[in-house]
Amino acid sequence: MNAAQMVNVNSLSLADVVADDDSGSLGIPEQLQAFADELKKKYPKDDPSLLARPFVLESLWPIVSADIGIGDQMVWQPDDGVMVVIPLDKNMGESDQVTLWWNGSIVANERITRSQLRQGNSYIVFNVPSKKVPVGKGRLSYEVYGGKLQGTSAPLTTLVRFGQPGHSGTGDPVELPAPSVAKPASGLIDAAQAQAKVKVTIPSYVNMREHDCVYLFWGDQVYQRMVQQADVGQAIVIEVTEDIIRAAGDSDALPTSSATK
């Protein structure tokens, strides 16, 4: 999403601010299938000799610069780690060794147990401790050996980011700088000004990063803008259109504010 888009303020909930996918309402098999369908579109020419990519529960996808995104809340709360799901191949069996690699380091190494197979699931789950989750861009894959199946999975590209927009990670979060509205000398936005669009500048903020979501509130109307790599460290300018200005109605002091996630 390069341009700002309008969303209905009444449709925003706390869940929207925390995460913009609804995978949490699906079971693991359904999440795996949905993710596999997404990967097929992204990698239509995958090497058929490779095993299916792993999946990370509660990760954010799709994103632009990786297959999944992972935030600090996922890593550190509440279970001190992330849950990596590996689809079970029909040729995997009891005592097969599964080694999970993340950025060239082994983060899990276990054998498939009889009890795991008896559960009848189409997957197995590994908990990767928080201290082994690499920050930044990475590659997550696994290999299987020791039995009938010998193979390696296609790599899953990951983007792990700690810290929230507008927060340095120490102390309490600071209030974001107020947006600046380009108003005429009279201070009033009339019909002609509205028709020409009104520019609102949102200053750069602490810990600003690609893929942050910036919301501009114009009265009861909301614009949404995804931060691009070129935006990092720069002020963001959003042009408020006439239809939004009219929808927000007349006011001597129309409130404007911004938020990020």
The residue with greater pLDDT, 148 or 175, is 148
Token digits of residue 169: 């990670």
Q: Indicate whether 169 pLDDT > 70.
A: no
CA 142 – CA 106 distance, rounded (Å): 9
* Nearest alpha carbon to residue 159 among 79, 81, 228, 71: 71
pLDDT for residue 34 is more than 90: yes
Q: What pLDDT, on a 0 to 100 scale, did the predictor assign at position 8?
A: 39
User: What is the SS3 assignment for the chain?
Assistant: CCCCEEEEHHHCCHHHHHCCCCHHHCCHHHHHHHHHHHHHHHCCCCCCCCECCCEECCCECCCCCCCEEEEHHHHHCCCCEEEEEEECCCCCCCCCEEEEEECCEEEEEEECCHHHHHCCCCEEEEEEEHHHCCCEEEEEEEEEECCCCCEEECCEEEEEECCCCCCCCCCCCCCCCCCEECCCCCCCCCHHHHHCCEEEEECCCCCCCCCCEEEEEECCEEEEEECCHHHCCCCEEEEECHHHHHHHCCCCCCCEEEEEC
Upstream peptide bond of 62 is cis (omega within 30 degrees of 0)? yes
Q: What is the pLDDT of residues 237-247, one digit of tens each?
A: 988 888 888 88
List, for residues 66-90, the tens digit of each pLDDT value. 999 988 777 766 567 899 999 999 8
- 171-201 confidence digits (pLDDT tens): 555 667 788 888 777 677 778 877 888 888 9
pLDDT level of residue 45 (50, 70, 90 thresholds) = very high
Enter the tokens of residue 40.
């097929």
The answer to whether 199 and 237 have CB atoms below 8 angstroms apart is yes
Report how far residue 196's alpha carbon sits from residue 261's, in angstroms, rounded to the nearest whole number: 30
Work out the pLDDT band at 5, boundaries 50, 70, 90.
very low
Q: Which structural domains are found in the chain, ordered by start? A: 5-14+169-260 (2.60.40), 46-161 (2.60.40.10)
In this prediction, what percent of the chain has a pLDDT beyond 90?
A: 35
Report the alpha-carbon distance of residue 8 to residue 5 in Å, rounded. Answer: 10
Residue 133: pLDDT over 60 = yes
The amino acid occupying position 186 is S
* Structure confidence by residue, pLDDT tens digits, 197-218: 888 898 888 878 877 778 888 8
Q: Which residue has the higher pLDDT, 59 or 78?
A: 59
